[in-house]
Chains A and B, each alone.
Chain A
């Protein structure tokens, strides 16, 4: 049941990510491409995640976006149309990067097999630790030379 609930393919995650970045950040241009191989560890990571909960089943999914803080700063500048030398404050970083995860997660939610409730986004250096058995899918992408990882986990 749980794996059926979150039967979302990597190609679907890629399409969602490309659509979100193209529409929100890159003026319609698709600059997100799949990156082969594992992303490895980020030196200065930042993560944003949203939960999708199917209350009747007590189950759900978590969509996590993680990258280097420098990349999240660049995303924030792009979203807020800031200049390349403008400093990004922590509040804007949390808002912008969290909203990115929110839109990705909201689109993933529409692919779940049952209606779910979407949480507000959370942003931190690391997401809460989940068991490897809860891992469902991940995708590593390149955006303007930065690496981002979108992953999907079972929760509940």
Chain B
């Protein structure tokens, strides 16, 4: 698996990658620091999965997802964000996201949402 992890916080990207490994997913990772980079790297690198923060500079995660879908890119996309309200989950789903993991998360949080995607 080739996975794009996006968060404007380098610390949070490290925590996401560390937690994925704890969950048993020893994947090849590329990183993005804002929504524009998510869009550019997704199209250039064609990862198998995108795990993205929502609130980022230079385009939010949902703006990046919307732009990718408009560009015909259907790479599976999930949010990892500090905002886990029902409103955000509905908005994420409407834009084409497969899941939303709320921060703080555990290895189990990732397994719960990723196992159905990987099945």
A interface, CB within 8 angstroms of B? 19-20, 22-24, 28, 76, 79-81, 92, 95-96, 98-99, 102-103, 105-107, 109-110, 115, 118-120
Contact = CB atoms under 8 A, between A and B. Distances in A.
Interface stretch (B38-46, B65-73, B100-108): B100-108
Contacts of B105: 23
A63 B30 CA distance: 32
17 contacts: A76-B11, A80-B11, A95-B10, A96-B9, A99-B9, A99-B11, A102-B55, A103-B82, A106-B55, A106-B103, A109-B83, A109-B85, A110-B83, A110-B84, A110-B85, A115-B87, A120-B56
Contacts of B12: 99
Interface of B: 8-12, 14-15, 18, 55-57, 81-85, 87, 102-106
A28 B106 contact: yes
Nearest to B8: A120
Contacts of A102: 9, 55, 82
Query: In terms of DSSP, what is the predominant structure of the interface of chain B?
Result: loop
Contacts of A106: 55, 81-84, 102-103
B11 A79 contact: yes
Given A96-B11, A115-B87, A120-B8, 4 more contacts: A95-B11, A98-B9, A105-B82, A110-B85
A95 B9 contact: yes
Pick the 8 closest A-B CB pairs, nearest first: A106-B82, A23-B104, A99-B9, A110-B85, A103-B82, A106-B83, A96-B11, A103-B103
A115 B86 CA distance: 10
Contacts of A22: 104
B82 A118 contact: yes
A98 B56 CA distance: 13
A110 B85 CA distance: 5
A85 B14 CA distance: 20
A95 B12 CA distance: 9
A112 to B, nearest CB: 9
Nearest to A79: B11
A80 B13 CA distance: 10
